[in-house]
Amino acid sequence: MKVVWNGFLRKKIRGGCKRKDALDSKKRKNNNTAATADPVDWSFEISNRQLLNITKAHPKQHLKYLAHSACSSSPCVKNATCEGDFEDDPFPYRCVCPAGFTGQACQIDIDECTSNGACHVNAQCTNTPGGFNCTCKRGFFGDGKICHVARSCKGIKDLGYSRGDGEYWVDPENTGQPFIVYCDMTTDSGGWTLIKQAKINSTSPRQHGVITSTNYRDISNWRDIRYVMKSPQLQELRLAMGFHQLRFRCFKNRPGRTIHIMTTNDTAGRKVLDHFLLDATWPTACTTFQKLPDDTSILSDHCNRWGDIGNLNHWGKRFNYGDRRIYNRPFYWANKHSIAFYPENTYLCDDDNNNKETGALTIGDIWELYCR
């Protein structure tokens, strides 16, 4: 049934209405025609059991009462706001939905993940009641609205997504197939990617053999002492990650000293990388590396003695130009102190070649090679 009051009130009242002449107390039967303004008063009995007395003198006051009555039953859900609007609305109330909901009573959750652009193309969208979450996929870092590809540990550090030392996903060439690496986010401001670790868990590590890798992604197997990456794969990793420095660290209970140095981040330092990853050139030693605070080695204090007799102050060992030269005496003092960590050779860490303890291993001795 429609009720028309002075041309501005048009409302559908559920359950119909009853006409009552204010001058005659007798009840009339239901009137199914539009009400018109005439000299008598009218009253309407509506379905929500609220009685509205509509008078010619105060029509808008009664309209507000109807709006209040419609919202008093809390017809809106999800913390929506109930409003009454009788000017042009087909219902006695309307629900103003909060973000993420729709429907007459705001009862329908909007799945934002079905719309393009909710999250970054490299993020996973998860719909939640009234909202959604964006999480960057493996190998990417960000808030989900923006996701940056992580080429290396340094890239993660520079983007501000470091969680401290530990494992991270990286994708150096943005292939969509990330892999896990170990990141040192502490030493010298962090950003170091671990290439190889040899941590002694047996006093006879050479019995386990060696696995020669042909894929730089195998640095994910950093816990396996057997893995060795040759120069061509290290150069591929260098190009993919864009690293410019190498870092050598080792500790051996006997002799009980730590070697910990990193190449300089300059043109001279990059010649050291070229020597190990490209062509052997035996570059100058003393101006191309820096000692780190925990270094206690004799070897790092005598870089002027590095190399072969007659060719001192140089990286590497003369005639050692194979594709695994980075693991076999990358720097050494001839007939004195050395570093070496190739699985099928002797493990050396500042050992004195003339000392009978050379080669003696204990559980926990460790060698590490990093790039940044």
**What does the chain come to in residues?**
372
Distance CA 355, CA 298 (A): 14
Distance set, CA 330 to CA 248, 307, 324 (Å): 9, 9, 10
User: pLDDT tier at 202 (50, 70, 90 boundaries)?
Assistant: confident
pLDDT of residue 367: 98
Better-scored residue on pLDDT, 354 or 312: 312
Distance CA 146, CA 119 (A): 8
Token pair for 11: 């409302």
Better-scored residue on pLDDT, 13 or 335: 335
pLDDT of residue 297: 98
pLDDT of residue 247: 99
Look at residues 223, 224, 220, 198 and name the one whose alpha carbon lies nearest to residue 211: 224
Arithmetic mean of pLDDT over the chain: 82
Better-scored residue on pLDDT, 14 or 83: 83
Whether the pLDDT of residue 184 is over 80: the answer is: yes
> Does the pTM exceed 0.85?
no
Q: Give tens-digit pLDDT for 332-341.
A: 999 899 999 9
Q: Give tens-digit pLDDT for 15-38.
A: 444 434 433 434 434 444 443 334
Contact of 132 with 118, CB cutoff 8 Å: yes
Whether the pLDDT of residue 66 is over 90: the answer is: no
Distance CA 196, CA 247 (A): 11
Whether the pLDDT of residue 160 is over 80: the answer is: yes
pLDDT of residue 43: 38
User: pLDDT tier at 302 (50, 70, 90 boundaries)?
Assistant: very high
Distance set, CA 348 to CA 170, 199, 253, 284, 337 (Å): 31, 13, 11, 22, 8
Strands 179-184, 192-199: pairing kind: antiparallel
- End-to-end C-alpha distance for the chain, whole angstroms: 79
For helices 267-277 and 231-241, the axis angle rounded to 10 degrees is 140
Q: Give tens-digit pLDDT for 228-265.
A: 999 999 999 999 999 999 999 999 998 999 999 999 99
Better-scored residue on pLDDT, 199 or 64: 199
User: pLDDT tier at 216 (50, 70, 90 boundaries)?
Assistant: very high
Q: What angle do CA 13, 18, 19 make, to 5 degrees?
A: 120
Look at residues 196, 298, 295 and name the one whose alpha carbon lies nearest to residue 246: 196
Quickly tell me which residue has 């119909």 as its tokens.
16
**Mean pLDDT confidence for 93-98:** 88
In a 3-state reduction of DSSP, which class is residue 188? Answer: helix
User: pLDDT tier at 352 (50, 70, 90 boundaries)?
Assistant: confident
Strands 211-213, 227-229: pairing kind: parallel
Q: 344: burial class by Cβ within 10 Å (0-12, 13-18, 19+)? A: middle
pLDDT of residue 85: 61
pLDDT of residue 73: 81
Half-sphere exposure of 220 (CA within 13 A, CB side): 11
The alpha helices in the chain, defined as continuous H runs, are: 59-71, 153-159, 231-241, 267-277
Quickly tell me which residue has 């950003």 as its tokens.
191
Please tell me what DSSP assigns to residue 35.
B
pLDDT of residue 4: 28
**Mean pLDDT confidence for 266-289:** 98
pLDDT of residue 47: 41
Better-scored residue on pLDDT, 264 or 343: 264
- Percent of the chain whose pLDDT exceeds 90: 57
Contact of 153 with 241, CB cutoff 8 Å: no
Strands 211-213, 192-199: pairing kind: unpaired
Whether the pLDDT of residue 138 is over 90: the answer is: no
pLDDT of residue 309: 85
Quickly tell me which residue has 């070649």 as its tokens.
353
**Mean pLDDT confidence for 106-131:** 90
Contact of 315 with 339, CB cutoff 8 Å: no
- In 10 A of CB 16, how many CB atoms? 13
Distant-in-sequence, close-in-space partners of 177: CB < 8 Å, separation ≥ 6 = 139, 171
